[in-house]
Structure 1
């Protein structure tokens, strides 16, 4: 998340996001294409992780963001499932 949203390193999408990636944000299309299109244009965006929980192969990140949407600051939850390559 830091590499993608703070450093704007789009190569993280190939390294850490699986295909197909399920995007649950109503503001982005499914998959990684929405992130690939949105991240470079984020001006003044801030991502601040508040809590990160791990349970088995799931990681849940509660974060506060600003500069993502015209509605203002937001609290968001990202849920990731990690698995090793076979």
Structure 2
């Protein structure tokens, strides 16, 4: 029977996923900004992609996207601490 994975190995699974997701979102956001630069409207992106207006707003504004990413990471870190404290 294989050795059980350590807590740090399991946490790394989530860290790797978050990193991959961040990279994918950056690529998507760059392409959506390019669509706007080409003359499309934000309403077009909402209609075509099915994304919410808020998701498109975040995608089009890197500062907002970063603030959301930081808040999400802080929330996750707080959840991990509370679980570890139990």
**Class of the TM-score when normalised by the shorter of the 2 chains:** under 0.3
> Which one has a bigger Cα radius of gyration?
2
More helix by share: 2
More strand by share: 1
The TM-score, its normalising length taken from structure 1, stands at: 0.25
The TM-score, its normalising length taken from structure 2, stands at: 0.25
